[in-house]
Chains A and B, each alone.
Chain A
């Protein structure tokens, strides 16, 4: 357990509504990541952060935004949810970004967009 929590754990929402997912860590790691996981696609990086207010895009960032105002919290927002954003979302941290770079994952959020 790397001290990572995600909320909510499950959410059902309607197309067109905004949704915010929260990732919280207790160990002050600088690097945090948001992934989505879909059958047949594996883990795909949405956005990542390398410090407070420092974020960058991953390979599937369209339709998503992130914010990091505190070291411990990394928020993922779906501006206007679409059915294609139905997925399982994982947050991850890296304790050693300058070193090996192993990642530890939160428990995930299952999002359904109807």
Chain B
């Protein structure tokens, strides 16, 4: 059984701070890793993807991957109230990704 674990939160951070979201996975052959953002009542939206160990930056978002530790994280710099959402981690080894249950992020002014 492939598992993807996320802390459900909520994670509460002040505006302007760095939000750190974490995800661990069980399938060692996983090749692709994704972060989705989901606002309440909306569908998941892809915000980051990462495929090799290290960091990948895109604007205020940085994804970090450590395959040896089976760990992927998402950092959001200069957090804004508009970043308040649930963040889903997804891990793909074959054609079917496995999703975590998501971490709720609250950015308060």
| Chain A residues close to B by CB (< 8 Å) | 31, 40-43, 45, 48, 50, 58, 90, 94, 97, 100-108
Contact = CB atoms under 8 A, between A and B. Distances in A.
Interface string B15-41: 000000000000000001010000000
| Residue of B45, B46, B51 with most partner-chain A CB within 10 A | B46
A101 B98 CA distance: 12
16 contacts: A41-B101, A42-B88, A42-B101, A42-B102, A43-B99, A50-B95, A58-B96, A90-B43, A94-B95, A100-B32, A100-B92, A101-B95, A102-B34, A104-B46, A107-B42, A108-B42
B54 interface: no
A94 B44 CA distance: 14
A107 to B, nearest CB: 5
B100 A42 contact: yes
Given A31-B95, A42-B99, A58-B96, A103 B90 contact: yes
B45 A105 contact: yes
Contacts, number: 45
Contacts of B44: 43, 90, 105
A104 B46 CA distance: 7
A107 B43 CA distance: 5
A15 to B, nearest CB: 25
Contacts of A42: 88, 99-102
B97 A101 contact: yes
B4 to A, nearest CB: 9
Nearest to B98: A45
Contacts of A101: 32, 92, 95, 97
Contact of A106 (B43, B46, B51, B96): B43
B49 A100 contact: yes
A110 to B, nearest CB: 9
Given A100-B32, A105-B44, A45 B101 contact: no
A107 B80 CA distance: 24
Given A42-B102, A43-B44, A43-B88, A103 B95 contact: no
